[in-house]
Amino acid sequence: MAIHRCLLARGAQKRKEKKVTKDTEKTTSPSKTAKPDVPKAEEEKDEVIQPKSQPKAKAKAKAKAKAKAVKQHAEESQTAEEEKDEVMEEEKDEVIQPKSQPKAKAKAKAKAKAKVKAVKQHVEESQTVEDAGHVPSGRKQSSTSSPRPVASPARASVKADPMKSTKSQALLPFGVKKSNLKEKMAMEKPAKTAKKSVKVQKSPVTAAPGTGEAIVGKPLPPEKWPAGVRVDTGPRVSWLPDDWAQGVKTTCKTFLRAFISPEGKMYYHRKVVEQIVGRELGPGDGIEGARTWAREQLAEMKDWRGRVPQFDKDELLFECLSPAERAELPDAEEFHFGVISARRAGDREGIRRMIGVQAQLLASGATPTWYVDAASLEEYKNIGVDAVVGGKLVPARNACLEEAAKQDKIAVELSDDIREWAFYKGAEGKFKLEEANEVAKNAKKLRVSPVAAARFLTAKMRAARADGKRPYLAGVYPLGNTGQAFATDEVSNQHFILGDFFCVDRGSAVRFDERFILKEDYDFTCQHIATHGSVMRSNRFILGVVHESNAGGACSERDNSGDRERKMIEFLEEKWPGVFRINGNRGDTQVVMNWRLRKQ
């Protein structure tokens, strides 16, 4: 502390003496033009850097003044350093240095030199701050000191922030603690401009019953959207809040859906939108919410997205029937629709697909019965469907057949995950694969109701008589490839009938073999061909079905290793020798059926 005070005193005295000397020289030396006295306030104004629009002469004068100030500061620093050395020599006795310990003495001397170096560096840093028009705490600006140019605000803020300099934190002046320095510098730092919050401010919202979706008005109009996005003409996603808009990026080669917030910001993912609105989106926030939403939609015959299913007119489909087939067309009241399901009502995605099937059946005039497992019965009823215990997969199928026979109706069995029933109306005949692909592209797709599909299949089945026999089982093409469908005959009578949607006419006593837990529809097809001589499969009817990936249903009977399916294949080969072979293109758990190769 003594050293510091002495240094400050001597430095001030030196500067004062130099100032007096310069003032004396100015008064004694003759001047060409006498400069009138200018008030101090006017002098201070001249010291401030003028705007860029001032003449270049003033800028040069300021630059010279700045260079002169730097030179003077260097001289003062050199003088201060010399004075520090003198003071250190005079006040060596103030430092405790045991004479008996030369090492300690040398160590103390080195420490003193380090302090002197720190003081020098601090003086230089303080001078830099003063150049920016900032006076450090604990130090007064002398009125006699030479004027220094003011630095630009941006540059000054960088220089005057010692918290960003590791040197300023490590080398502190005498008597100043590190903690105190941080506090002082924090007070002296210029205030930062507050950053704008990126969070979207939520407006008061209400919620649609059972959905949790916000209803706060209409979406932002397209003219206020960000650039590079157009209106999405497709169906609106069910989870998007009502005050959000849905568009498609025009600058992306692939289809990229975009969501525009009420503030005009654009996002691409549901998770991000949920973070913005601060909650989970979609119908309900869990299983119970999903069930509530499902009940409310089914009460109005709507699907999961709140829309009444729309179909093409039945007459467009029935035009494809011959006069003999049209004469066999049954009424809608002659069918018993049974949906075979299990363990779907405990899964949100399963509920969504269930509602899609139920809504289509209700919209087409059918009142289906759901055959489910006993453990899930109450869950299904809670959704709002007419559910009864059917047991596992194969017993549930037989329960539906028995109920239809009891009511003297045509049995229609279907899966619980069918998205659509589609009939492709194109050129007649069987085509080679390349030609079939082209015909399929040009074919007209009819989206028909499940009731219309059942009536169409039954009419063709009843009219397909041969040798005094007729089929009692009718179904659709088992794959989703329309090109392959047109590469086969329009109607097949000895081919596999898919269990996802089929009709069984009155009078057939054939039932499912309950020894099968999988591949039961292959065995059922073979039984019908063996009993009634044929089946009827329309190869222009294609279903949109989720196969082998959704939770519940027949998928719960499969195992990851495929051992159960392989065991059922062995059973098929044993029961119907020669009819089945492994489908090499789809692994060893899928088979190909060819009834003509049956061995007696």
pLDDT tens profile 198-245? 344 343 333 443 344 334 467 899 999 999 999 998 877 767 877 889
- How does pLDDT run across 382-396, given as a tens digit for each residue? 999 999 999 999 999
Q: What percent of the chain has pLDDT over 70?
A: 66
Mean pLDDT of the chain: 77
Cα–Cα distance for residue pair 308/300, rounded to 1 Å: 8
* More confident: 131 or 297: 297
pLDDT at 586: 77
Read off the pTM.
0.56
- Does pLDDT of 595 surpass 60? yes
- DSSP code for 124: H
pLDDT at 2: 56
* More confident: 206 or 119: 119
pLDDT at 12: 72
Provide CB contacts within 8 A for 424, sequence distance 6+: 440, 443, 444, 445, 446, 482, 485, 486, 540, 542
pLDDT at 214: 36
- How does pLDDT run across 87-97, given as a tens digit for each residue? 455 444 444 44
pLDDT at 296: 86
Rounded mean pLDDT of 575-591? Answer: 90
Residue with tokens 């009817």: 541
Cα–Cα distance for residue pair 346/290, rounded to 1 Å: 10
Of 174-178, 277-281, 484-488, least confident by mean pLDDT is 174-178
* Most confident of the ranges 99-113, 278-292, 520-534: 520-534
pLDDT at 125: 60
pLDDT at 212: 40
* More confident: 502 or 170: 502
- 204-209: long-range pairs with CB below 8 Å, 24+: 208/242, 209/292, 209/296
Q: What are phi and psi of 240, to 5 degrees?
A: -75, 130
| Domains detected in the chain | 66-81+108-181 (no CATH), 210-277 (no CATH), 303-558 (3.90.550)
pLDDT band at 113 (very low <50, low <70, confident <90, very high): confident
Using alpha carbons, select from 511, 514, 501 the residue that is nearest to residue 392. Answer: 514
Provide CB contacts within 8 A for 516, sequence distance 6+: 394, 523, 568, 571
pLDDT at 289: 67
- How does pLDDT run across 551-575, given as a tens digit for each residue? 555 555 556 778 999 999 999 999 9
- How does pLDDT run across 244-278, given as a tens digit for each residue? 899 999 988 889 999 999 999 999 998 898 888 88
Rounded mean pLDDT of 185-193? Answer: 48
